[in-house]
Amino acid sequence: MLEPEQLRNQRVLLVNDDGIHAEGLALLEAIVREFTNDVWIVAPDEEKSGAAHSISLSVPLRCRQLGDRKFAIKGTPADCVMMAVWQLMAECPPTTVISGINHGENLGDDNIYSGTTGAAMESAVLGLRSIALSQARTLGKVPRLDAAQAFAPGILETLLTCPWEQGTIVNVNFPDVAASDVRGIEVTGLGNRRPGTFRPVPGADGRNVPYYWVKVDYGVSKLVPGTDLAAVKSDAISITPLRVNMTANDLMPRFAELFPVGALAANS
């Protein structure tokens, strides 16, 4: 376990999906610089919300340096991690990757779509310690970063000084309340939103040509205690450990019975 003063030796990569100029990313940089000055920022040149863990295979990645250890990438959040690890920081890779602070929560099923989570997942795939931070907000409004600003430093210090299993990320969500109204911190599992959070809505442009715009409609089937959705709804900070390995281990014995070793099914 690292001591707090040893955090000065950490090399930290910051990434997000809201874009290189996002307010949440600037706040995260200020917070992380309380621990170490070895901070690199590699983020998309424009918003990439919903990019998930996608990577660019059919178009080139473009890189533009904006300052000392600060780069904008024309690509996805996962692309940014790859560029940092294999190119920009190749001689001395990061020890930790922190993604965020996202403008909006990443709770429950959101993590399937989230570019914030996708960047953290790519980091974990590469064997790096990774953390995702998100600030809940009302859709269409500027995020109120009070809770993140007040509590992220302590949470990060705790996380960065303790070990955890490789291939794991820690997903942190701050409620949309003033720092003084935060009820506490809860370690949670993922909840489930009701089906249809994202759905195409038809429209027509000025020439009456039809198009479809994806509408976001957050909701939950049921707020289950112990989940991230329930915690943030009750004004608590949610901390959820996630794994890259998606194997449904509880189903392995059942499928082993259905498909015993050596069995071969063929159409007669």
**194-204: per-residue pLDDT in tens?**
888 889 999 99
pLDDT tens by residue, 50-93: 999 999 999 999 999 999 999 999 999 999 999 999 999 999 99
CA dist., res. 89 & res. 83, Å (int): 8
Question: For residues 225-257, b (16+ Cβ closer than 10 Å) or e, as one string?
Answer: eebbbbbbbebbbbbbebebeeeeeeeeeeeee
At 136, the pLDDT band (50, 70, 90 cuts) reads: very high
Distance, CA of 125 to CA of 225 (rounded, Å):
30
**Residue 5: what pLDDT?**
61
Model pLDDT, residue 251: 95
The tokens of 128 are what? 């790096």
Predicted pLDDT at 142: 85
The one-character DSSP state at 84 is I
- Region 188-209: mean pLDDT is 92
The secondary element (H helix, E strand) that includes residue 214 is strand 210-216
- For residue 222, pLDDT beyond 60: yes
Instruction: Output the pLDDT for position 196.
Output: 84
* Residue 260: per-residue pLDDT: 85
Predicted local distance difference test score (pLDDT) of residue 104:
94
pLDDT score for 69: 97
pLDDT at 2 over 60: no
**Is the model's pTM score more than 0.85?**
yes
Picking from 121, 3, 8, the residue whose alpha carbon sits closest to that of residue 54 is 121
Residue type, 182: V
> For 134, what's the count of Cα atoms within 13 Å in the CB-facing half-sphere?
31
- Position 79, amino acid: D
Residue 210 has pLDDT above 70, yes or no: yes
> Is the Cβ–Cβ distance between 230 and 163 less than 8 Å?
no
* 113-115-121 Cα angle (round to 5): 95
